[in-house]
Structure 1
Amino acid sequence: MRTSRHNSPQVNAGSMADIAFLLLIFFLVTTTISMDKGINRKLPKPCPPNTECSEPINERNILRIVLNSKDEIFIEDELVTLPELKDIAKSFLDNNGDDSCTYCNGKGLSFLSDNPKKAVISLQNDKLTSYNFYISVQDELTKAYYELREVYTKDVLGKTAITVTDEDIAAVKKAYPFILSEAVTK
């Protein structure tokens, strides 16, 4: 009997690295990367040591917003809806209660803020408030500030969002400072 030597079949592995590389590129290109959700805020500068940095705030200049565990919004112990929040915040901020604001369009009501520079929005939430609801509330408050700033840019500066300079942006932020407190107010 004659034995034949058979060469065992071999797999050409030369192109395996190329295929693996192409698959890697394919998955990198087609995979979507989820964006982190969060709030983009610039924190205030810390108070220097041995210095008293808190100043008394007039009660009418604080808009107290409380979020409970059922994702409900209470402003001054009154239930409001999420769509109403932006308009309430705008009315509070742009009130001109002390007639010192030359650019405000508010009605000067005695129970709302003195002016935008003194107005503080106090936001408190329950530990069981859902994160998405909390972000939605933050978004509505941010929209209120942005809309007031946009009106100021158009009416006072006479510019559009495209034509503003860095100095204009600083002036707008000074006119409507974003003062949001998440600390428990007294």
Structure 2
Amino acid sequence: MADIAFLLLIFFLVTTDIATDSGLNRKLPPWEEDPQDTEVVIKEKNIFTINVNSADRIMVTQKGESDPIDLDNLRKEAVKFLDNGGGKGADACKYCKGARDPRSSDNFDKAVISLSNNRLTKYKTYIAVQNEIIAAYNEIRNREFIREYPGEGINYVQANDEYLDPATPPNRRENLKTKLEAIRILVPQKFSEAETK
């Protein structure tokens, strides 16, 4: 009996698939051994602040005004902010298709989305807000990938999925890697999470 139980235990240990959560995909800035005393100055117009309170209500602050917003409209507002192109001279954005409002973001590189939430915010709401922000970045990246590489016949998200697919041939993967990195440089994902309140 003990031998059979032992064999069953080994069988279940060997054949069981242990599911691992992938978590949230975030790339942290590189560690700097000798931090310099340079202070990064970000203009207030280049910051799109999202606050989620304990009742899971979303408040967006931009152009010095705070307004409540539904989760369904968050992506549209984030895209409008990122794609504004209100910069002049060196800060001008030649690929932005927005309203070019000088009171809103200058270009893709200067625009920062900041998220803060309350300690009592539901996890489901927190993840849903993050998904909408990432979707806003992907919407612009899709457009720019199609504009930059029309011969591919796919958008940024599809190219990224193909790049991550283990069945993709190595030469195709290298080709996609170069194109994906170019789009990530053109439309950097500058997403900041403030400390929970």
Instruction: Name the TM-score class by shorter chain.
Output: 0.7 to 0.9
Match of 1:36 among 21, 45, 53: 21
How do 1:70-89 residues align onto structure 2 when only pairs under 5 Å count?
70-76=55-61, 77-89=66-78
5 Å-filtered alignment, 1:14-93, equals 17-18=3-4, 21-22=7-8, 25=11, 29=15, 33-36=18-21, 38-76=23-61, 77-93=66-82
Deviates more, 1:123-132 or 1:95-104: 95-104
Larger radius of gyration: 1
Which residue number in structure 2 is paired with residue 183 of structure 1? 194
Distance 1:24 1:179, change over 3 A: same
Does the CA contact (< 8 Å) of 1:103 and 1:156 recur in 2?
no
Identity %: 36
SS in 1 for 2:54: coil
Give ranges in structure 1 of 5+ residues lacking alignment: 1-12
DSSP 3-state at the match of 1:21? helix
Q: Secondary structure at the match of 2:115?
A: strand
Aligned length: 169
Q: Structure 1 segments of 4 or more deviating over 6 A?
A: none
Letter aligned with residue 88 of structure 1: E
TM-aligned CA distance change 1:68 to 1:156, over 3 Å: same
Distance across 2 between alignment mates of 1:145 and 1:177: 8
Alignment partners' CA distance in 2, 1:48 and 1:22 = 52
Q: Which has the larger share of helix?
A: 2
Q: Distance in 1 between matches of 2:20 and 2:117?
A: 24
TM-score (structure 1 length as normaliser) = 0.78
For 1:3, the equivalent position in structure 2 comes to none
TM-score of the pair, normalised by structure 2 = 0.74
Q: In the TM superposition, what is the alpha-carbon distance from 1:22 to its structure 2 partner?
A: 4.9
